Amino acid sequence: MTGQAYIILTGDGNELWDRCLGESLVALGYDRAYYDAWKSGDYDAFLALDMAAPRGTPESEIKAGATLWFNRATRLSESAGDIWFHRQGNDLYWAESTSAPPVFHEYGDKVMIAKPVTGWSRRNRGGIALTWNSIHPRAKEQLVTQQAMFRVATEDMKTYLLALVGGESLSHWHDRKDWKEKLGDGKPLGRNLGQTEFAIARMMIPIRDTVRNSNGQQVFTTLRDKKLLCSEAEMKAHLEALMRDQNGLCADCRCIWMVRKTWNRICWHPPTVSTATGIIRSAMFNLSAAS
């Protein structure tokens, strides 16, 4: 990812967010007269609309504001390969603009200027949820903006945000003295599980239960005496290796392991027990996880 990083509010009062989320767009709304002036490439006409409004504002500030909004429409409509961020409640969404042509749509007395994106996601590329409590305060300073559209100008912060959505290690920043001071002494960041890690954690629960409840006791018949012949860390490492080596698929039935947006069947082979192969009979159960 080599483009720019932007934070956007998607229209007045965030009025276009639902459409952006549903149709994979990044957008701003412009009054019809401003849109017409911008679409024709007439900056003077665009500026004249602002100059005609009785605001009691110095002319230099009016010109600066007109230039800002004129250029915003241009940057948004021409965006390709840029990463866009949008905060909605406790979730941080991101999307990458595509090379598809811009989209223009009238609504009320305004026109939406939009660019198609790959699809808004509230997880990074590694499947980790991007919740607000997991975002470093230094990054929050950039992401909390009252501007309709804001370009992250500092190269260091831009690189950090791109690493954040890429699922890359952030220790280069988090280990720095100024970042630690901003976070506060001994205060940890919130941490979210990735989809793979979540699935593995859920797989480990019935393994423990199977071993705990099968200790050779007599009910109506004598149950097997099953033992967990590995540590918790070894069990987790083994499941991670199976997940990786089998590309997230069950070796027997080819069911998927990875948790997706909806309820999915997950097949697993626990790394135990008192059998020659160390694998007990596969079991099937359902997991759910937010997208």
Question: What average pLDDT does range 136-150 have in this prediction?
Answer: 87
* pLDDT higher at 53 or 185: 53
Q: Are 174 and 92 spatial neighbours (Cβ–Cβ below 8 Å)?
A: no
| pLDDT, position 229 | 74
Spatial CA neighbour of 143 closest among 87, 83, 82? 87
Give kind and range of the element (H or E) at residue 28. strand 25-31
DSSP 226: -
* Cα–Cα distance for residue pair 81/1, rounded to 1 Å: 7
Provide the 10 A C-beta neighbour count for residue 234.
Answer: 12
pLDDT tens string 128-138: 889 888 889 88
Q: pTM value?
A: 0.68
Banded pLDDT at 290 (limits 50, 70, 90):
very low
The 10 Å CB-count burial string (b at 16+, else e) for 113-123 is bbbbbeebbbb
Q: What percent of the chain has pLDDT over 70?
A: 67
> What confidence tier does 66 reach under pLDDT thresholds 50, 70, 90?
very high
What does residue 161 show for φ and ψ, rounded to 5 degrees? -65, -35
Whole-number pLDDT of residue 250:
66
**Least confident piece of the model among 34-48, 78-92, 152-166, 233-247:** 233-247
Residues 93-112: tens digit of each pLDDT: 999 999 999 999 999 999 99
| Per-residue pLDDT tens over the stretch 167-182 | 888 899 988 998 888 8
Report yes or no: 115 and 75 within 8 Å, Cβ to Cβ: no
Here the contacts of 229-237 (C-beta below 8 Å, separation 24 or greater) are: 229/272, 229/273, 229/274, 229/278, 230/271, 230/272, 232/204, 234/271, 235/204, 235/207, 235/270, 235/271, 235/272, 236/200, 236/204
pLDDT tens sequence across 223-250? 566 666 777 778 777 877 776 677 666 6
pLDDT classification of 208: cutoffs 50, 70, 90: low
Q: Please give the residue that has the higher pLDDT: either 227 or 77.
A: 77
Q: Which helix (H) or strand (E) holds 206?
A: helix 195-213
Distances in whole angstroms, Cα of residue 265 to Cα of each of 257, 285, 286: 8, 6, 5
| Residues 6 or more apart in contact with residue 184 via CB below 8 angstroms | none
Residue of higher predicted confidence among 3 and 44: 44
Q: What is the pLDDT of residue 52?
A: 85
Ramachandran angles phi, psi of 175, nearest 5°: -85, -5
